């Protein structure tokens, strides 16, 4: 099921599509015979004639006739001819003064889906650029997934990536959504609520992220009206009632603001505006306030000619009304990520009423209302929007990077949604460069924002010259310095607290790549062992044999097969037998090599030591291949091995290498006399035996004894035996045993 990108028609048979396509091909310039909303075309022509050349205007009118012919006989649920919809979308983007190719694409954005008209036909008549834009918008509606959730996720992914390639695709899509929201009343209530929630969750935040504040506010208002109609009506009634009571106060504040600015010889436009219902509702919802507790439902805007006058106006207003401490924000010196610039302050007005005031220049006001569309809207004014374009470009490119590093569509959307709600903090590098991060971001997020390699090698941080934990939430103005290690090794535990999509995606991608390499190495060792079991040397398998095998199973290359073996998705024995079907048998290798897979203890995630029995070198062990987990190493007497008795084809003969490359955790329990200094003497004895204590805990028993639990690091079983032997000689130690299991404090003991 595709997400609704336009209202469905009452009649739209496939035969009508084909007939329309044929008609357009035979008579491309004839106007439609259907009822055409000429008033809309006249309005569009008037808007476009102010900035388009006559030849471009002729192309747009041709595109209108083309679209009207394609949509002949199609109607919206409201009963209007369907051509009224693309015409309304074109009018919306004409207000942003987008170029002729975008206007043409807006008029044609549904013809590929609704009239079976191909991309090449559009390119031949209107140019390649317009065809690419129409194709970009149309692709957002093509869903190949089965479930609604997957379809929705895939649609959003396509939409965001299309926007990353050409932001005009998203501007057309947002205009399309705005007109649909304006005419949503014809839908069933349940469908209205679903489309409104989509708008609230995805489309409105994208408009905000692109700086389209006017569009953002209208989408929010419309979404609130249709998603929560009862709440909207109650809130609207309350605001209307409050409006009359507060009109006198607002007029008094406006007069005072204008008077003070005139006294300071500041030429400014001062206006008061009522906050939108969506903004009031969000404040009530987030801060758990009643309507009567939301005092600042009115805001005031001061618009001046230059940046210095913004700061002069701020000083003048602070001398008129007292500012609220901590409520001043300078978005001129540090603009928001979407290019928004203004000074914000909250003042205590007459009768103790808090009032919000924004100060900005005329150019800043244009960008605040139009965002990325200001590139087209005000390019003739000579204003410099390069910084906004650069920020938008960087964000759009980050979407492509997230797509490349995300494992699937749902993971990609999880990352993007974080960046769509940028309640930001601003932090500094040691050299004074500013980075904007989501509120709650940590030094790890900062490290990845600086550079992916810095994030991978991050081991510690200094915040304002003090060493702090990596999970510390950054605050506005923090100076952050990252301490790095020579080699990359991001900690998977970071995923529990990082906030940015980039950090989350890069950490996951790093560990996926590491797991793939480790799994490939383990898979190769398992396959070598399986081949030797049937009397084949790995060298006897030629490239031709590998090629035939890969072709028969539809695998890309040998690496993918080895990874699947290492992850337990394929059995090494079956792969070995398939490879050996046409191979000549070679001589047997030595018995040690053919018998067991040697475990080094440092293979990483592809080989895991089971926590249920905690094997260490010297323990008799067996390997169990688990799908998606790799090779799990258990002791012979582990209960998990007995439970897996029916999976003998997944068992692997394994043995320890002579000199393991790491130390292993082992748990012991000591029953100790309750004497002063007992714990210290035991710890000294353990250290003297060249072992490290990883963890220690204690239970107080009845009587003169205490149970002390240690997690020690040992090299092998012999090393552990030496430690236990030395501890048993101590007079304080009554009994000591090795524990096997997850808990250091388990009560059911197993002897060594």
End-to-end Cα separation, the chain, in angstroms: 61
Distant-in-sequence, close-in-space partners of 333: CB < 8 Å, separation ≥ 6: none
- Residue 238 CA from chain centroid, whole number: 38
Q: Is the dihedral of CA 558, 597, 645, 751 positive or negative?
A: negative
Tell me, yes or no, if 176 is annotated catalytic.
Answer: no
User: What is the b/e burial string over 102-112, where b = at least 16 CB atoms within 10 angstroms of the residue's CB?
Assistant: bbbbbbbbbbb
CB atoms within 10 A of CB 643: 9
Q: Which of 114, 518, 603, 619 is catalytic?
A: 114
**SS in 3 state form for 115-137?**
CCCCHHHHHHHHCHHHHHHHHHH
- How far apart are alpha carbons 376 and 393 in whole angstroms? 15
DSSP string, 305-325: SSHHHHHHHHHHHHHHSEEPT
| Closest of 25, 59, 224 to residue 127, by C-alpha | 59
Contact, 567 vs 628, CB < 8 A? Answer: yes
Tell me, yes or no, if 700 is annotated catalytic.
Answer: no
Alpha-helix runs per DSSP H in 147-228: 148-165, 167-182, 189-198, 204-209, 213-227
Distant-in-sequence, close-in-space partners of 733: CB < 8 Å, separation ≥ 6: 670, 671, 672, 682, 727
Contact, 601 vs 665, CB < 8 A? Answer: no
Alpha-carbon radius of gyration of the chain:
35
- Strands 354-361, 298-304: parallel, antiparallel or unpaired by DSSP? parallel
DSSP string, 543-606: HHHHHHHHHHHT-S-HHHHHHHHHTTSS-HHHHHHHHGGGPPP-----HHHHH-EEE-S--GGG
Q: Which of 7, 110, 113, 176 is catalytic?
A: 113
Contact, 555 vs 561, CB < 8 A? Answer: yes
- Strands 621-626, 424-428: parallel, antiparallel or unpaired by DSSP? unpaired
Residue 390 has which token pair? 């650069």
Give the catalytic positions in this structure.
113-114
């Amino acid at each position: 099921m595709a997400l609704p990108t336009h209202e469905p028609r009452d009649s739209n048979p496939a035969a009508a599509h084909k007939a329309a396509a044929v008609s357009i091909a035979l008579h491309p310039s004839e106007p439609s015979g259907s009822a055409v909303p000429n008033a809309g075309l006249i309005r569009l022509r008037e808007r476009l004639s102010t900035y388009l050349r006559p030849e471009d205007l002729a192309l747009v009118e041709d595109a209108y006739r083309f679209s009207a012919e394609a949509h002949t006989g199609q109607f919206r649920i409201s009963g209007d001819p369907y051509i009224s919809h693309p015409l309304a979308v074109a009018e919306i983007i004409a207000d942003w003064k987008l170029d002729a190719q975008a206007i043409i694409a807006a008029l044609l954005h549904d013809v590929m889906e609704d009239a079976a008209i191909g991309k090449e036909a559009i390119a031949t008549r209107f140019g390649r650029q317009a065809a690419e834009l129409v194709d970009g918008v149309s692709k957002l509606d093509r869903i190949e997934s089965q479930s609604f959730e997957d379809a929705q996720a895939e649609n959003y992914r396509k939409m965001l990536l299309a926007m990353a390639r050409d932001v005009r695709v998203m501007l057309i899509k947002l205009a399309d959504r705005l007109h649909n929201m304006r005419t949503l009343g014809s839908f069933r209530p349940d469908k209205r609520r679903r489309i409104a929630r989509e708008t609230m969750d995805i489309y409105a935040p994208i408009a905000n992220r692109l700086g389209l504040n006017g569009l953002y506010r209208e989408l929010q208002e419309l979404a609130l009206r249709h998603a929560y109609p009862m709440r909207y009506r109650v809130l609207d009634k309350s605001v209307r009632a409050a409006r009359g009571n507060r009109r006198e106060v607002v007029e008094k504040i406006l007069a005072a603001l204008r008077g003070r600015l005139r006294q300071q010889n500041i030429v400014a436009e001062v206006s008061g505006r009522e906050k939108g219902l969506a903004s009031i509702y969000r404040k009530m919802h987030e801060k758990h306030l009643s309507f009567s507790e939301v005092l600042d439902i009115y805001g005031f805007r001061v618009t001046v000619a230059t940046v210095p006058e913004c700061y002069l106006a701020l000083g003048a207003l602070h001398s008129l009304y007292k500012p609220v401490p901590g409520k001043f924000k300078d978005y001129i010196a540090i603009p928001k990520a979407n290019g928004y610039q203004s000074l914000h302050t909250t003042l205590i007005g007459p009768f103790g009423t808090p009032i919000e005031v924004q100060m900005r220049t005329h150019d800043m006001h244009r960008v605040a209302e139009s965002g990325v569309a200001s590139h087209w809207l005000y390019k003739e004014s000579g204003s410099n929007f390069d910084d906004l374009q650069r920020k938008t470009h960087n964000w759009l490119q980050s979407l492509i990077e997230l797509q490349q590093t995300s494992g699937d569509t749902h993971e990609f959307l999880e990352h993007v949604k974080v960046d769509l709600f940028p309640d930001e903090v601003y932090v500094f590098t040691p050299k004074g460069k500013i980075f904007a991060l989501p509120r709650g971001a940590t030094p790890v997020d900062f490290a990845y924002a600086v550079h992916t390699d810095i994030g991978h090698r991050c081991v510690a941080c200094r915040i304002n010259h003090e060493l702090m934990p990596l999970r510390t939430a950054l605050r506005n103005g923090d100076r952050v310095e990252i301490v790095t290690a020579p080699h990359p090794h991001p900690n998977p535990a970071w995923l529990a607290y990082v906030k940015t999509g980039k950090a989350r995606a890069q950490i996951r991608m790093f560990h996926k790549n590491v797991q793939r390499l480790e799994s490939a190495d383990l898979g190769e060792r398992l396959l070598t062992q399986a081949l030797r079991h049937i009397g084949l040397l790995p060298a006897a398998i030629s490239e031709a044999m590998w090629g035939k095998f890969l072709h028969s199973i539809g695998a890309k290359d040998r690496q993918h097969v080895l990874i699947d073996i290492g992850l337990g998705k394929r059995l090494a024995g079956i792969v070995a037998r398939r490879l050996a079907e046409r191979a000549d048998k070679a001589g047997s290798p030595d018995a040690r090599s053919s018998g067991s897979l040697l475990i080094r203890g440092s293979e990483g995630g592809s080989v895991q030591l089971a926590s249920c029995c905690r094997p260490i070198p010297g323990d008799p062990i067996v390997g169990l291949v688990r799908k998606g987990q790799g090779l799990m190493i258990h002791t012979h007497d582990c209960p998990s091995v007995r439970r897996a008795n029916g999976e003998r084809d997944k068992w692997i003969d394994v043995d320890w290498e002579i000199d393991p490359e790491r130390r292993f955790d082992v748990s012991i329990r000591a029953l100790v006399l309750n004497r002063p200094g007992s714990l210290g003497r035991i710890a000294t004895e353990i250290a003297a035996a060249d072992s490290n204590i990883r963890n220690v805990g204690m239970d107080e028993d009845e009587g003169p004894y205490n149970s002390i639990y240690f997690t020690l690091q040992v090299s092998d079983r012999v090393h552990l035996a030496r430690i236990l032997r030395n501890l048993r000689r101590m007079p304080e130690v009554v009994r000591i045993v090795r524990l096997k299991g997850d808990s250091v404090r388990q009560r059911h003991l197993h002897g060594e």
